[in-house]
Amino acid sequence: MEDRKHFLFLNLGHFLDHLFLLVFATAAALVLATEWGLSYSELIPYATPGLIAFGLFSLPAGWLADRWSREGMMVVFFIGIGLAAIATSMASSPVEMAAGLFVVGMFAAIYHPVGLSMIARGGKSMGMDIAVNGVWGNMGVGCAALLTGFLIDQTGWRTAFWLPGAFSVVLGLAYFYSYKDRVPLRNAASASLARPSEVASDGTTTAEWRAMLIRVTMIIFFTTAVSSIIFQGTTFSLPKVFDERLQGIAPTATMVGWLAFLVFGIASFAQVIVGKMLDRYGPRGVFAVVAVIQIVFFSLMPGLTDWSALAVSLGFMLGAFGQIPINDYMIGKMAKSELRASVYGARYIVSFAVWATVVPLIAWVHYNWGFDVLFYILAASAVAILCAVLLLPGRLPEAQPTASVVPAE
């Protein structure tokens, strides 16, 4: 029961983490450009400081979690990001918005290295646990568009920042009350990267194991970077894509938000299927199938409108969301407890650094050519992922499994 309660807190944290990062994307697409007298392509680069902070602070967040307290860092996450969102709701100019988003991004950087290090602890169901947590994160992506679109029509965009911000602060206080006995303590983590003896149980020598580890690590970081182009390119731009291309079926901000939520929500469950397949078959074949799905649907999207555009959008979002658990699964298999948060921090600093470059890319591509060219870029990115995935070994250099999924270490 205690494990499930902690898992719920971590899932809610993932939900809020992605929601806060995308409130501005929907607000910019639907109302802020008009309110502040800027075009969409001029306004969205102001999200870049927040995305830079999201990447920049992930490594120190993981380092602190490994050396101080993962529970303590989660308290800082919940309360810090909530207060930052409330402050951002008071922005009256693009510069003030950029400053607020930077602080939001700084606290948002805590979640992935810290939360995932408490979830990805090995065992037969690790793929499913990561996938379920990923669904919560993607529901946050979908609810950002839904909530912001609804509140724009009802009360204004500012409420979309301060209302979930207040909820996050309350949740942080509840988390602290539940786990305050663990907050001051250094984690009792054990080993870092798995390392076999001279000859592992499967006959792999230390030299072979190291060579395989280097190869898999390079593939993980390469696919992390390219996958981030796809994830950010789709989640950030989809409200604007729908605003432009679904005029026949989504004439209001609320309808755009609902349809974006519908696509994000349905597509997020692709992670559950991927999680099951990872536990059963391993990452190589699963990752290849997901990459092919992306290539097909991104290539189909240019020129489509209304119902056909909505259907194809669901297809490529199934691929974009389905790929999310795979690299985290591979890291969880290869890393043990002591440095796991730091390893995830390094993985996410790559991911979020790419995110920060994708927003200006979206603005530039949209201004010069429209979204069709963006979809061709995303299809090419999926091709690059497929080529890298085919280089993965059939079996990962795996760490010894640790205890069950959620309790503090």
Return the amino acid letter for 237.
Answer: S
Low pLDDT (below 70) residues in the chain = 1-2, 121-124, 184-206, 335-340, 397-409
Under 8 Å between Cβ of 75 and 181: no
> Tell me, what's the pLDDT at 298?
96
Entry pTM: 0.73
CA distance 261 to 229: 21
For residue range 184-213, list pLDDT tens digits in order.
544 444 333 344 444 444 455 567 777 787
> Tell me, what's the pLDDT at 336?
58
Other beta carbons less than 10 A from residue 363's beta carbon? 20
Q: In terms of Cα–Cα distance, which of 76, 42, 46, 44 is closest to 61?
A: 76
> Tell me, what's the pLDDT at 311?
95
CA distance 328 to 148: 29
CA distance 144 to 279: 30
CATH class of 2-183+205-389: mainly alpha
Under 8 Å between Cβ of 222 and 322: no
Q: Which residues contact 251 (CB under 8 A, 6 or more apart)?
A: none
> Tell me, what's the pLDDT at 201?
46
Q: In terms of Cα–Cα distance, which of 137, 44, 97, 103 is closest to 358?
A: 44
User: Distance between terminal CA atoms of the chain?
Assistant: 17
